[in-house]
Amino acid sequence: MKYNPKNERIKREYCEFKKEADCKDDKTIEAMRSAIVRFEQFTGFKDFATFNRNQATGFKNHIAITKSKKGDVLSIATQLTVLNNVQIFLRWLAAQKGFKSKIPKDDIAFFNLTDKQQRAAKSSKSMDFPTIEQIRHVLSNMPHETEVEKRDRAIIAFTILTAARVSAIATFKMKHFDPSRQLIIQDPREVDTKFSKLIETFLVNVGDDILQIFREWVEYLRNEKLFGANDPLFPKSFNVHDENACFVVGGLSRQHWANSAPIREIFKKAFQNAGLKYYNPHSFRHTLVHDAMQKGANVEELKALSQNLGHEHLLTTLTSYGNITPHRQSELIKGMGRRKDDGLLLQISHLISSYNRI
């Protein structure tokens, strides 16, 4: 049995509730639905009304040995996400008419991982990301004769200038860039931003050479391609037939990409051609934050960068992208006692002097 009609009706109602009442986006709802389907597959698509603690513990043990598409056992973080999504669903179902007496609420807690496992799932691992110089090396090795090559190079330059999410990059229009203010307006009504936030992103100063690549691209679209305000900032390419009736890239269209997959391929190809390991677009967010920290950015500057990334709180930026590598941690610890010009030490010294004069 590949599905249960009763369960399908309940899942539709739940997904509608999460979208319309709980205001969740489609990606979040799909992740929830997928977790519920995993649980159904484990139980053999039994009615949700038959839920009990044995199903909970059995599924928890099953998910612990389940392998991903890559052949690896699911990470503890993924396990936690799946189990939490199933728990949230069952708690909702237990409050619905006809299920209040059928689903034991205490049994839902049997999905819980141990405290140690939950801490491991929520801990952040060291993230590998490219340096500004590596990105500059990639850009310098990218061909830029054809309009498609110009676009590809501009996308990578733009990503380090803004650290915009790849889903947003695929949906930007020309009008979302204000050249006079060097500002990218991520309008959620037209741009696919996380949590549908309005984000104002100013181009970060990572070098005039990188900025020039993006500027020339915008000028090319406006002056050569005659793109207007509602045309895509990074248009998809179109294919034509060559003399052998094979598809080849013919040029740029005036359409947006349907998804972000082509952008990831551009990154992969560019890094490989430059002789470097592949870094995905999202890793550039780590690059910008770490570059700012290493340059000694103050709290106000870090807060500005945090807002550039679309974060309401600086702590979100630091915990998500500011983890220090073990090597850098070692350097900082070793240098703590040798920094005679440290601003904080000077302040402490002045305070001590003032105190002694009292």
Sequence-distant (≥ 6) Cβ neighbours of residue 107 within 8 angstroms: 51, 52, 53, 56
99 and 52 share one domain: yes
Residues 143, 162: contact at Cβ < 8 Å?
A: no
CB-facing half-sphere around the CA of 287: CA atoms within 13 A: 25
Q: Predicted confidence band at 224 (pLDDT cuts at 50, 70, 90)?
A: very high
CATH number at residue 190: 1.10.443.10
| 93 occurs within a structural domain | yes
Q: Which two tokens stand for residue 13?
A: 């109602």
149 and 272 share one domain: yes
Predicted structure pTM score: 0.77
| 37 occurs within a structural domain | yes
84 and 139 share one domain: no
Question: Which of 69, 101, 122 corresponds to the end of one domain?
Answer: 122
pLDDT of 345 strictly over 60: no
109 and 241 share one domain: no
| 216 occurs within a structural domain | yes
160 and 97 share one domain: no
> What pLDDT was estimated at residue 357?
55
Q: Which two tokens stand for residue 109?
A: 């807690």
Q: Which two tokens stand for residue 48?
A: 């949700």
Question: Which of 253, 285, 317 corresponds to the end of one domain?
Answer: 285
218 and 280 share one domain: yes
pLDDT of 348 strictly over 50: no
50 and 161 share one domain: no
Q: Predicted confidence band at 329 (pLDDT cuts at 50, 70, 90)?
A: confident
254 and 188 share one domain: yes
Summary mean pLDDT of the chain:
91
| 156 occurs within a structural domain | yes
Question: Which of 226, 257, 285 corresponds to the end of one domain?
Answer: 285
Kindly give the residue spans of alpha helices, DSSP state H, lying in the chain.
5-20, 26-43, 53-65, 76-94, 105-108, 115-122, 132-140, 147-162, 166-169, 208-219, 261-273, 283-294, 299-308, 314-321, 326-335, 343-357
51 and 180 share one domain: no
Range of lowest pLDDT (70-79, 246-255, 332-341): 332-341
pLDDT of 24 strictly over 60: yes
Range of lowest pLDDT (31-35, 53-57, 209-213, 352-356): 352-356
pLDDT of 353 strictly over 70: no
226 and 83 share one domain: no
pLDDT of 340 strictly over 80: no
| 335 occurs within a structural domain | no
- Mean per-residue pLDDT for 25-43? 95
| 311 occurs within a structural domain | no
- Mean per-residue pLDDT for 161-181? 98
Residues 56, 111: contact at Cβ < 8 Å?
A: yes
> What pLDDT was estimated at residue 116?
95
Total of domains in the chain: 2
pLDDT (tens digit per residue) in 185-214: 999 999 999 988 999 999 999 999 999 999
- Mean per-residue pLDDT for 82-87? 98
149 and 265 share one domain: yes
Q: Predicted confidence band at 351 (pLDDT cuts at 50, 70, 90)?
A: low
252 and 277 share one domain: yes
pLDDT (tens digit per residue) in 123-164: 766 789 999 999 999 999 999 999 999 999 999 999 999 999
pLDDT of 344 strictly over 50: no
pLDDT (tens digit per residue) in 239-292: 776 666 676 777 899 999 999 999 999 999 999 999 999 999 999 999 999 999
Query: What dihedral do alpha carbons 262, 264, 267, 269 form, nearest 10°?
Result: -60
> What pLDDT was estimated at residue 337?
63
| 101 occurs within a structural domain | yes
> What pLDDT was estimated at residue 274?
98
| 313 occurs within a structural domain | no
Domain of 39 in residue numbering reads as: 5-122
pLDDT of 350 strictly over 60: no
